[in-house]
Amino acid sequence: MSGDSTPRTGETRRAAAAGTIEIPVDGAGSMARWWPRARFVAMLWLMMLPTIAGLAIFTYFPNLETVKYSLYKWDGGAVEEFRLFYNFKQIFGGGDPRYWAAFSLIGVLLAANLVKMWPSIFTAIVLHRLKSERWQFFYRVLFVVPMVIPGLVGLLLWKGYYDPNVGLFNKLLNGIGLMPVLNSLDTAMPALAAFVNGNLLVWNSANPLWSILLLPTQIITPLFGGLWGMLVFGFVLLLLRDGVQTIPGRWMLWVMVMAFAVLTWGPNPFENPLPFLARGLILLGGGALLVEWLRKRDSIEGKDVVARIAAGVLITAGLLVLLSKIWVDPTNAFINGNPSWLGHSKLVVPAVIVWGFPWIGTVGVLIYLAGLANISKEVYEAAELDGIGFWGKIFRIEIPLILTQVRINLIFLTIGTLNEYGFFLILLGPDGGPDNAGLTPGLYMYQKAFIQSEMGYACALGMVMFTLILFLTIVYQRHLKVDK
Amino acid sequence: MAGILIKDLQKIYDNGYHAVKDANLEIRDREFMVLVGPSGCGKTTTLRMIAGLEDISGGEIRIGERRLNEVAPKDRDIAMVFQSYALYPHMSVYENMAFALRLRKMPKPEIHAKVMEAAKMLSLGNQLEKLPKQLSGGQRQRVALGRAIVRQPKAFLFDEPLSNLDAKLRGEMRYELKSLQTRLATTAVYVTHDQIEAMTLGDRITVMSVGEIQQVAPPTVVYEFPYNRFVASFIGTPPMNFVTGKLVREGDTWSCEMAKGQRFTLGMKERGKLAENLGKDVVLGVRPEHLHAPQVAPAGCAVCPMKVDVVEHMGDHQYIYLLLDGVEDTVIMKAPPQVKAAPGDIMPVHLDTAAGHLFAGTHEHAPNITLPAGFPRQQ
Amino acid sequence: MTHQSHLRFKEWCKHALLCCVLFFAFVPFFLMLMISLKTNDQYTTNPWWFDAPSQWCWANWTKGWNTVGHYITNSIVVAVGSVLLCLTISIPTSYVIARYRFPGRELVYYALMATMFLPGGAAALVTTFKLISSMGLVNNLAALVLLSGIGGQVSCVFILRQFIEEIPKELFESASIDGAGHLRQMWSIMLPLSGPVIGTLAIMNFLGAWNDLIMPLILLRDDQMLTIPVGLMRLDGEYVKMWGELMAGYSIAAIPLVILFLFTIRLFVRGLTAGAVKG
Ligand SMILES: Nc1ncnc2c1ncn2[C@@H]1O[C@H](COP(=O)(O)OP(=O)(O)OP(=O)(O)O)[C@@H](O)[C@H]1O
Ligand SMILES: [Mg+2]
């Protein structure tokens, strides 16, 4: 393509109009060859210059600087002292248990978010199935309207709902009689946990292999902590359904994901690596074999066994993680009927999870709707003639066809959850609330940087996070192209 | 107005594909030149290089005396009609036609006059306020033409402008294009793979194959004197019949001997190059109208019995598909309606080899060795 | 049940479900308005419904306006500035990337896309702050405009590029033969054809800048300079018990978006559902 860079003067135009002959630009010399093209490309780059400059200065430069400062002791001001890998030794050498503990919170949140994704999808499907176009448009408009409330106001409103005495949440719970139920569960659930715990202890002491895998003194917490690994497992299963076709490719994926899972599994994997390694290997080997076997069956029987198992694993693991985080010990918060949801270390996480009920992101609904709109009427009609039912339509037509949107959403969900801190900062303050119950890795980073002025250390934490996200991104990249 | 000169033109795409090889072509002033060839032969690529939409990898293009290689498309003073018409969907018919003139800062009244004139010429007078999507296929086509006409460019470029229309409309538009061209008398390059368009519209036609120009000549010359086997097979419907054999000579009689021993005596006048190919593989090409049933055959034909396979009646003539022992493809004969033939009949077919061609070698681009001496590839 | 009435019943079920969902979406809205008209006493005695109109406490709204008013101006400056910046830089870039193949194209595109996966977490905040302060832009709204405009261009380019690539390239080529330069092609071909998408992107970017909290929190110092989210957060800290005033402030903060949406909602909804925002 030739450019528009050639000057177009009045003379040439008039000359052309008058039909006069112009002096030919002679010389097929190499200069004449590449010069117009070079000028043309330069023009294109010039048009992108603002973007490039902005990106370089305001995005890449700060991010690259964190790499530099991760090797420094830096307070954000004058104190700047190079100390090589000291920060990283601190992080990985057991000097920072709170950071690694923060990752198990991420596990819980991720599980919760995976569940919270579905109401939007179902709403979109219901909306899509409305027969009347006018009603559809009407609802779509209504779905956008709540966006006028500034995001922060929504947040502060919910914070108000959770107020122990005047908050609407407690009033609601008391009003519909759920509070006494919660109170009785508060004794029942810990009893159940203790029962399971006791039985496991007995079995555990009789089984030497078990003691390698789990720390013998506390069983139920690490077990449930391990569900994070299960979550990852389910996730990978889901991803593997269609994607990497070669066996070595899948195994590489496994190694990466499992390394990640093991890393974020429990407290600090680097203090006592053996059980973590053992668990990791079991997950890696067993899981991968299982998947290979399932895939074979899948391709033979043409069923979505893998997907179903993945969904099952995800749901169970999610539920178990949620439960385990709350009710190993009695909270004693419900007796007076005014639990302080954001002020009790055991209630912070449930409060965060219930947050935003019924979890319908209106923009999310519209995006799914966009995917659904691509399904042609003929597909539905054909399916109806084939005798498809209500659920069949959902699981065999609609969800498979919006899978792209769902997957993209999953990526951003994961990365978003890993990075999350703004929400917790506003809600719980830089400490993450009582007992740091709501301390995410991101918030911890924020705390280190802005409260404790250990900016160099915060940069090092940022680098760790970056590596994790890089891994995840690579994994996802193998399954869907960013620009598709 | 000006002619277009293409010299040693090369196009190598980024992926390394050599789409146009050493093309040399002179399009004369006010000439209607048709580029024709099978799909993928590089017609569009050549046209887009003339328009400046594609970089030139080598060689040069001149319009009049002006070298175009480094000139931006907008400064080439060329108008192009795309296969998909490329009408601006958000502009009315009027605005579509006026767009280029506005960009040239032409005064409003002048623009109006030109658009109206073009609209009248194309009978679009009532459609000026409509958007492209409210028009029929033929009307869109005319708007695209109008958009090119109003600019009064040095040359028109057409890229298969009729291929989106149905057969009937295509016929009408072909006629309109032809009459328009005579009226406007502007140089035009017209790309098509439809040889009827090529034969009817072109002052001269250029036959291309795999990026190379095979022959340039007026339609009748291309038809009667195909430069090589490719041209011979590409131009003409139904296509020329080809039989492969060995060139043999008995005294003064040259003939083509086939694998199964049949012999066709060759009646061609041009014998200059025959001697070089004596004993070698050659291909004899005879057009369907030069195959005759015994009743209506002129004198001096080679005779060979063939079996009738299928008969297609076309009204004023009929096509008889014949099977010849040792030849894979059916041989087609164009016969007058009174010839009676039924499938299964054995018919002594008369081949008017004097009107046929002989190609040296069996490959696709084998040269025609029965052309008059010094016959130019481009004329 | 006949087939007809069965179908109608199914439609009703769908409506019921959607209304139920909408109910939850609108509860915060409703509560905000309701509580904004109550004193604290009224709120504790009757938290669920409006009092008699005669008892409505409009003083909350006056107070709310006095505290929130200038935050709104600041937010509008930031959001509008960010939208303008974002569009002016992302439109040419998407045009270039979508239309041409040239050396370095992939590099620029992937450099843009990669920022979506950078852990834009707190660590980069520190260095960003350092950068902004070295430019002398701390406590200056321009810094926010720059950051959110440049951050917002990523998704703009991503979506616009896809959209432009779907415009038949003959249109651009035809225009360039007709004599249109790059600017003209963008203005006369690309903008009219991608209008709804650009509108939707503009609104998305506006909302992003409008709701951004962390950056203003770090970069702004004076109360005079605060944007709505930071301002409200400070209010929340100060007026722990004055629910009515707080809610009035929140409601007032929502007004600019109400106005924006009044004019653009059709476009926005169309754009979103037309798949303008696929990712
Ligand atoms: N941008 C490109 N990159 C690489 N190869 C290309 C490109 N455009 C075209 N080609 C190849 O160049 C050859 C010639 O293409 P061209 O479009 O000129 O064919 P054509 O003669 O117009 O065919 P048709 O009659 O089908 O339109 C084709 O083989 C095509 O695959
Ligand atoms: Mg073509």
Classify residue A133: in a domain, yes or no: yes
User: Is pLDDT above 50 for C276?
Assistant: no
**Distance separating alpha carbons of residues A213 and A216, to the nearest angstrom:** 9
Contact between residue C250 and residue C130 where contact means Cβ atoms under 8 Å apart:
no
Q: Chain B closest CA to C189's CA: distance in Å?
A: 7
Ligand nearest to the CA of B45: 1
- Does ligand 1 have an atom closer than 6 angstroms to the CB of B43? yes
Q: Does B20 fall in a domain? A: yes
Alpha helix stretches (DSSP H) within A96-217: 97-116, 118-129, 133-144, 151-161, 168-175, 178-206, 208-213
Helices within chain B (DSSP H only): 43-51, 93-103, 108-121, 137-149, 167-184, 195-201, 219-224, 229-234
Q: What is the mean pLDDT of residues B104-117?
A: 90
- If asked whether residues A194 and A291 sit together in one domain, one would say yes
CATH number of the domain enclosing B189: 3.40.50.300
Pick from C14, C26, C146: which is nearest to A129 by CB? C14
Superfamily of domain C70-274: MetI-like (1.10.3720.10)
Q: What is the dihedral of CA B274, B278, B281, B284, to 10 degrees?
A: 40
Q: Based on the domain organization, do A380 and A468 belong to the same domain?
A: yes
- Nearest protein CA to atom 12 of ligand 1, as residue: B19
Residue A257 pLDDT greater than 90, yes or no: no
Closest ligand 1 atom to Cα of B11: 12
**B248 occurs within a structural domain:** yes
Here the tokens at position A257 are 């994901």
Same domain, A353 and A467: yes
CB C85 within 8 A of CB C147: no
Taking phi over 0 as left and psi of -120 to 50 as alpha, with beta for the rest, B143 belongs to alpha
Ranges for all domains in chain C classified under CATH 1.10.3720.10: 70-274
Task: From chain A, pick out residues whose CB is under 8 angstroms from the CB of B74.
Answer: 4, 8
Ligand 1 atom with the smallest distance to the CA of B42 is 18
Of the residues B194, B210, B230, the one at which a domain ends? B230
Which residues are paired to B358 by β-bridges? B284
Three-state DSSP at A279 gives: helix
pLDDT average, residue stretch B39-60: 89
Q: Percent of chain B beyond pLDDT 70?
A: 100
Q: Average model confidence (pLDDT) for chain B?
A: 88
Characterize B274-284 residue by residue with b for buried, 16 or more Cβ atoms within 10 angstroms of its Cβ, and e for exposed. beebeeebbbb
Point out the ligand nearest to the CA of residue B53. Answer: 1
The answer to whether ipTM exceeds 0.85 is no
Ligand 1 atom 28 nearest Cα: B40
Beta bridge partners of B187: B155
Q: What is the pLDDT of residue B207?
A: 93
Residue A179 belongs to some domain of the structure? no
User: Which pair of tokens denotes residue B70?
Assistant: 């480094």
Last residue of a domain, one of B213, B230, B247: B230
Choose, out of A1, A2, A4, the residue to mutate when testing the contact with B (most B CBs < 10 Å): A2
- With a 6 Å cutoff on the Cβ, whether B39 touches ligand 1 is yes
Inter-chain touch C123–A48, beta carbons under 8 Å: no
Which residues are within 8 A (CB) of A276 and not within 5 positions of it... i.e. 6 or more apart? A262, A265, A266, A269
CA distance C196 to C159: 12
- How many Cβ pairs within 8 Å bridge chains A and C? 275
Please tell me the total count of domains within chain A.
3
| Residues of chain C positioned with their CB less than 8 A from the CB of A142 | 22, 25
Whether residue B347 sits in one domain with residue B333: yes
Q: Verify that A30 and A115 share a domain, yes or no.
A: no
Structure tokens at A442: 């991101």
Among the listed ranges A209-213, A225-229, B192-196, which one has the minimum average pLDDT value?
Answer: A225-229
A172 at the B interface (CB within 8 A)? no
Tell whether A212 and A247 lie within a shared domain: yes
Q: Inter-chain contact C126–A148, Cβ cutoff 8 Å?
A: no
Q: Do B269 and B129 belong to one domain?
A: no
Q: Which tokens sit at A156?
A: 């502060």
Six token digits for residue C11? 């439609």
C-beta separation of B162 from B174 below 8 A? yes
Q: List the alpha helices (DSSP H) in chain C.
A: 3-35, 40-45, 59-99, 105-114, 122-134, 141-166, 169-178, 182-185, 191-193, 195-211, 214-219, 228-238, 243-273
By the 8 A CB rule, do B342 and B308 touch?
Answer: yes
Q: Say if B73 is an interface residue toward chain C (CB within 8 Å).
A: yes
| pLDDT for the residue A308 | 66
Q: How far apart are CA A248 and CA A465, in angstroms?
A: 27
3 state DSSP class of C233: helix
Q: Please give the average per-residue pLDDT across C144-169, as a whole number.
A: 88
Tokens at C85, concatenated? 């910046």
**Closest partner CB to A465 (pick from C24, C116, C119):** C119
pLDDT digits (tens, 9 = 90+) for C107-128: 888 888 888 767 556 678 888 8
d(CA C29, CA C23): 10
Q: Is C82 helix (H, G, I), strand (E, B) or coil?
A: helix
Q: Does a structural domain hold residue B376?
A: no
Q: What is the pLDDT of residues A374-389, one digit of tens each?
A: 777 777 767 767 667 7
Residue of B nearest to C189 (CA): B88
Q: Which domain holds residue B319?
A: 231-360
Which residues of B fall within a CB distance of 8 Å from C171?
A: 86, 88-89
All residues at 6 or more sequence positions from B274 whose CB lies less than 8 Å from its CB, including other chains? B247, B249, B254, B266, B358, B369, B370
Residue A256 domain flag: yes
**What pLDDT sits at residue C43?**
75
B22 with B148, same domain?
yes
In order of B308, B325, B334, B338, B341, the CA distances from B344 in angstroms are 5, 14, 18, 18, 9
CA angle in degrees (0–180, nearest 5) for C8-C14-C15: 90
Contact B86 C170 (CB under 8 A): yes
Residues of B in contact with A12 (CB under 8 A): 75
Closest CB to B72 among A5, A22, A32: A5
* Domain presence at residue B280: yes
B57-79 mean pLDDT: 87
Q: Is residue B368 part of a domain?
A: no
pLDDT at B32: 92
Give residue B191 CA to ligand 1 midpoint distance, Å.
Answer: 13
Instruction: Evaluate if residue A10 carries a pLDDT over 50.
Output: no
Q: Among all residues of chain B, which has the CA nearest to that of A18?
A: B1
Q: How far apart are CA A68 and CA A84, in angstroms?
A: 10
| Residue with CA at minimum distance from ligand 1 atom 18 | B42
One domain for residues B189 and B298: no
The reply to whether A173 falls in a domain is: no
Containing A343, the helix (H) or strand (E) segment is: none
Q: Is residue A363 a part of any domain in this protein?
A: yes
Pair (A250, A298) in one structural domain: yes
Identify the CATH number of the domain in which residue A449 sits. Answer: 1.10.3720.10
Q: Which chains touch C (3 or more CB pairs under 8 A)?
A: A, B
Q: Which residue has the higher pLDDT, A193 or C215?
A: C215
Q: Which of A211-215, A467-471, B192-196, C139-143 has the lowest mean pLDDT?
A: A211-215
Query: How close is the Cα of B48 to the center of ligand 1, in Å?
Result: 11
- Residues B225 and B238 grouped into a single domain: no
Within-domain flag for B15: yes
**Please, is B345 exposed, middle or buried when counting C-beta atoms within 10 Å of its C-beta (0-12, 13-18, 19+)?**
middle
Instruction: Report the percentage of chain A scoring pLDDT > 90.
Output: 2
- Top-confidence residue, A180 or A205: A180
Q: Do residues B288 and B332 touch, judged by C-beta distance below 8 A? A: yes
Question: Is there a single domain that holds both residue B249 and residue B210?
Answer: no
Q: What is the DSSP letter of B367?
A: B
Q: Is residue A333 part of a domain?
A: no
The confidence score (pLDDT) of residue C88 equals 94
Counting the structural domains of chain B, the total is: 2
Q: Does residue A336 lie in a domain region? A: no
Q: Which of B106-115, B322-331, C126-135 is the most confident on average?
A: B106-115
Q: Report d(CA B282, CA B246) in Å as an integer.
A: 6
Q: Which domain holds residue A238?
A: 190-325
H/E segment holding residue A283: helix A273-301
Chain B environment of A29 (Cβ under 8 Å)? none
- Rounded average pLDDT over C165-186: 88
pLDDT digits (tens, 9 = 90+) for C178-206: 888 888 889 988 888 888 888 888 988 99
In a domain, A378, yes or no: yes
Find out whether B164 and B84 touch, Cβ atoms under 8 Å. Answer: yes
> What would you report as the CA-atom Rg of chain A, rounded to the nearest whole angstrom?
28
Could you say which of C104, C117, C272 has the minimum Cβ distance to residue A363? C272
Instruction: List the single residue in A41, A148, A422 with the smallest CB-CB distance to C254.
Output: A148
Same domain (yes/no): A261, A225: yes
Contacts of A481 (CB under 8 A, 6+ apart): none
CB burial of residue A347 (10 Å; 0-12, 13-18, 19+)? buried
Please report the DSSP string for B118-178 in residue order.
Answer: HHHHTT-GGGTTS-GGGS-HHHHHHHHHHHHHTT--SEEEEESTTTTS-HHHHHHHHHHHH
Amino acid in position B9: L
Tokens read off for B196: 């009827």
How do residues B131-181 score in pLDDT, each as one tens digit? 888 888 888 888 998 988 898 888 999 998 888 888 888 888 888 888 888
The reply to whether A130 and A222 lie within a common domain is no
Tokens of B148: 């090119």
- Do B213 and B241 lie in one domain? The reply is no
Using CB atoms within 10 A of its CB, is residue B377 exposed (0-12), middle (13-18) or buried (19+)?
A: middle
Q: Confirm whether pTM is higher than 0.80.
A: no
Residue A308 makes CB contacts below 8 A (sequence gap 6+) with none
In C, minimum Cα distance to A8 occurs at C179
**Length of chain B, please?**
379
B51 chain-A contacts, CB cut-off 8 A: none
